[in-house]
Amino acid sequence: MTGRHFELGLNSFGDVASDGDGMLSDAETVRLLIEEVQLAEDVGLDIFSVGEHYREGQVDSASAVLLAAMSGVTDRIRLGTAVTVLSTNDPVRLFHEFSTLDAASNGRAQLVLGRASATESFPLFGYEIAEYEHLFEEKLELFLQLRRGGPTTWSGSTRPALTGQTLHPRLSEGGIPTWIGVGGSPDSVVRAARHGLPLMMAIIGGKPQRFSGNVQLYERALDQFGHAPQPIGQHSLGLVAPTDDEARELWWESWQPVVKTIASERGFYAPTRERYAMELDTGALFVGSPETVARKIATVAQDLHLSRFDLKYDLLGLSKAARAQTIDLFGREVAPMVNDLLTKEAPHA
C-alpha cells in the first residue's frame, strides 16, 4: 500500500432516512441517494456502491436502475454494487444491465457478487434455499464466461442453454471489475481465489483482525491457482462527526433499534451499551471523529492487507443531515488522512 492511493468508498443499502419532520418516503430516499452520490464525488471519494435487498425500510431493490440514474449526475466516481445476489439473478440479464451501465457511465461500473446474507430474494423469485451453493457456483461460471466476451456456448441446470450467443452492448477491453463478497466462509474465499477475482470482506461485527486467517488463505490460494495478487477490500458500518462523542450518540440512536430487530431474527447479541462500546473501540464499527475513523481504517488496512475500504454510511432512520455530514467528512478529511497514514506506514493506533 505504501506510496499508492488507497481507495475509499461508500456503500448504501437504500436505508430510508429521516428529516426534521419524520421518516422520508421510499421515493424521497431514492432521490436522496442520487443527491448523496453527487456529494460523494464532490468530496473526492473513489466509489459509491448500492446493495440489493427486499425488506421494509430499504429501497435498493433495483440497483442497476439506481446506479444508472447516478451515472447521469456524476462524471468521475465509480459505481458498483454491495452486493448483487447472483444466486437469484439471471447472469444474462445481469450482464445486459451492467454492460449498459458501463457504457452509459463511460466505464465506471463495478460489481460485487455474493450468495446473499439476507435471503428474501429466494422465495420472491421462486428459488429454493436448498440450492444456495449450486445456484451461485453455476451462475458465477456463466457470468464470468459472458464477461470475457465473444460468442458464448453454455449449458447448466439454472437457466436455458446458450449456443454461440453474443450479448450487447459489448464490454470494453478488461470488462467490468468484478469482486466476490464474503462474510467469513473459507469456501467463499477459496472460490474467489480460484477465479482470480478480488475479495470484498463484509465485516460487520467483532474485531476485524479475526479475518486475518481468511486473508492468508486467499493469498495462498491465489498463488496455488497460479493467479497474480488481487485487491482485498473491507465493507463495514460507520458514521463520522466532528467529535467522537457526537458520532457515537448519533449512531447509537439509529443502530440500537436496527440491531435489536436483527438480533431477534438471527440470534445476534443484544445491542447493549457495553457491547456497543466494544465495537467502537476494537470492533467493526467505524464511528467517531475524522481522526479516530482514519486511524482505525489505517490499522485494519495494514493488518488485513487492504487496498480498499467501503463505509456503509446509511442506517434506517438516520437523519439526512447526519448522512451528509458523514459523506463530507469521510471524503474531505478521513480519506486524505488514511492515505497519509498508510504512505508513512504509521504505527497502529
H helices present in the chain, as ranges: 26-42, 63-71, 91-104, 121-124, 132-147, 186-194, 212-224, 244-266, 273-281, 290-303, 320-329, 335-343
Q: Above 90 in pLDDT, residue 304?
A: yes
pLDDT at 344: 84
pTM: 0.95
CA 67 from centre of chain: 14
Q: Above 70 in pLDDT, residue 318?
A: yes
User: Average pLDDT in the 93-114 region?
Assistant: 97
pLDDT at 345: 63
Q: Above 50 in pLDDT, residue 3?
A: no
pLDDT at 116: 80
Q: Above 50 in pLDDT, residue 256?
A: yes
**DSSP-based three-state secondary structure for 152:** strand
Q: Above 50 in pLDDT, residue 276?
A: yes
Of the chain, the end-to-end C-alpha distance in Å amounts to: 17
Which residue carries 419524520 as its cell? 22
Q: Above 90 in pLDDT, residue 323?
A: yes
Question: Are β-strands 18-19 and 22-23 bridged in parallel, bridged antiparallel, or unpaired?
Answer: antiparallel
Residue 87 CB: number of other CB atoms within 10 A?
Answer: 26
Domains of the chain: 7-343 (3.20.20.30)
pLDDT at 262: 81
* 125-137 confidence digits (pLDDT tens): 999 999 999 999 9
Q: Above 70 in pLDDT, residue 4?
A: no
**DSSP-based three-state secondary structure for 76:** coil
pLDDT band at 208 (very low <50, low <70, confident <90, very high): very high
